[in-house]
Amino acid sequence: MVLVGFEYTTRNLPTTYAKIGALSENKKDKIEIMFLGSSQIQGGINIKYIDIPAINFASGSQHHREDFAIFKQTKDRYPELKYVVFELSYAHLEIPHNDKTFWKNAVYLKYYGVNAYERNTYFKDKLIYISNPDLFSRQLYNFYISKPVKNQFTLNEYGFNELNDTGSFKVLNYDTSKIKKNNFSIRTKELPETFKYNTFFFENMIEEATSSGLKVIIATIPTYTTYNNARNPNILRRRDSVLNKVKQTYKNVSIFNLEDDTINFKVTDFKNENHLNPKGAEKLTKMFNIFLKQEVLDD
């Protein structure tokens, strides 16, 4: 009975997943563009500023394995779907995929009707609380017991949090001298075998999308100067080689690459070294919207 109570209250939390699941169902006859990716896309694209009906399935720690499952199992639900956005960040191709027991599989199944387990599913596979008890216990405590922080649980109709600008840069008062000394995590270990497998997998994603008659947009999200300077040049070179190959090979693929844009994106647009805050997301999404109209819709 205790677990039933935890599950019930967890499902009543105001979550991005629930908002996106509702959007997917309520707007399925109108959606024209689908975004997929990790937390960089999740926090960097606010589809409120996209002129055509859109949905953003990106979420934290999500990799191409989950992206592909979501894409394949939802694309036919949207008769007006014309475009899909895949993320290819700096180290994306040298980060191993999540395995089939990834905790978010329960979220995908419950809210999106997507089976990422790659097996037959059972009732317990939809249970949200037991998929990640530590995470959801903290969220339950923050929402139901402690005084809710307004910006933590406030989502717009598209599942985007426009108020949550909390991050290390804000804590440091956007002081660039302090930010230069700030410790952060970045992938620098080279995994050439992982690169080979992930590249093959990514190209299959593109093949699936283009063979379905869709235009593909590959996106990279702005990252801060200190992050860019810390990148492993070999990892970056290999990723860029894939971007170049894909652009030359596929007619219906466009590249939206603002990873190194230090002209339009200032320190106050970032939460931390590799994530935009809501202000930066508004700026990026408006730029993407222009790109979509000028570079893709007119093709």
Given a cut of 70, whether residue 50 has pLDDT beyond it is yes
Q: Which overall architecture, per CATH, does domain 2-296 show?
A: 3-Layer(aba) Sandwich (3.40)
The arithmetic mean of pLDDT across residues 48-71, rounded, is: 98
SS3 content of the chain, % helix, strand, coil (to 5): 50, 10, 40
- Global pTM? 0.96
pLDDT band of residue 297 (cuts 50, 70, 90) is low
CB 195 within 8 A of CB 237: no
The arithmetic mean of pLDDT across residues 75-97, rounded, is: 98
- At 277, phi and psi to the nearest 5? -95, 175
Given a cut of 90, whether residue 34 has pLDDT beyond it is yes
Given a cut of 60, whether residue 299 has pLDDT beyond it is no
Q: What is the rounded CA–CA span in Å between residue 176 and residue 183?
A: 13
Residue 187, CB half-sphere, CA atoms under 13 Å: how many?
Answer: 14
The arithmetic mean of pLDDT across residues 280-299, rounded, is: 88
For the chain, give every domain's residue range.
2-296
**pLDDT tens-place string over residues 173-223:** 999 999 999 999 999 999 999 999 999 999 999 999 999 999 999 999 999
- At 256, phi and psi to the nearest 5? -110, 95
The arithmetic mean of pLDDT across residues 136-164, rounded, is: 85
More confident of the two residues 191 and 295? 191
